[in-house]
Amino acid sequence: MGHMSLSQVIEALLFAAQKPLTTRELVSAIKGAGGADELLPNEFGRVKDAEVAAALEQLKIEYIEQKRAFQLAEKSEGWQLVSDPAYAPWVRQLFPAAKPVRLTPPSLETLAIIAYRQPITRADVEAVRGVAVDGVLQSLMERGLVKIAGRADVPGRPLIYETTQFFLEHFGLRDLDELPNAEELRTRYLPSAPVAQTAAPAEPPPLAEAPSGEVAPAQE
């Protein structure tokens, strides 16, 4: 067997993986090979994270320079080999599932508000859009783009919503900081729903004094 390079080992791992692999997972797999029961020693047993990260970047550049039909993409959950989008018409033939329905403008507007201002309540989304979003919100949740993240710490404890991991994958983002103009749009003023003021409970009227040994009747 000829000499193997670190890049080739990484390439084999990425090719065989069923999911994206982080740099840490790659390092662990590379170091874990070999041992007393193996015929060949593990020449990469002392590989460092920085070496694997550098090899990943080099592979990414090589695939682009060689104009390969696949790419090395860094996703939010790790690195993965993916087909070049230019070949999508052919690759799609292997997956003849029904085409997903495109998001409507109201859905995109609602999704954008949630993405930039999450976590956010339904009422605050409606305050920005000026219309009810119950149906749109339900649709986004059914598509796996939005999820319930808990309840807001305000009177009434309304549900709050945020985007999902699938949202990042669907739009090709590693994290929310890669949203276009993220810093600017997060700080721009947007209207919000008025917070309902919860009135303090009225104190019960005092019981009327009664003669010793007798109990005053309850106030109605």
Question: 56-88 pLDDT, tens per residue?
Answer: 999 999 999 999 999 999 887 899 999 998 998
* Average pLDDT estimate for 26-51: 80
Question: What's the Cα-to-Cα distance from 18 to each of 21, 139, 149, rounded to whole Å?
Answer: 9, 29, 28
Fold of 105-187: Arc Repressor Mutant, subunit A (1.10.10)
Residues 166/144, Cβ–Cβ less than 8 Å: yes
pLDDT of 39: 57
Phi, psi of 162 (to 5 degrees): -150, 165
Q: Is the pLDDT of residue 190 over 60?
A: yes
Fold of 6-93: Arc Repressor Mutant, subunit A (1.10.10)
Better-predicted residue by pLDDT, 213 or 18: 18
| Positions of CATH 1.10.10.10 in the chain | 6-93, 105-187
Per-residue pLDDT band at 55 (split at 50, 70, 90): very high
Q: Is the pLDDT of residue 125 over 80?
A: yes
Which range is least confidently modeled, 16-25, 55-64, 126-135, 177-186?
Answer: 177-186
Cα angle 5, 6, 8; round to 5? 65
pLDDT of 131: 93
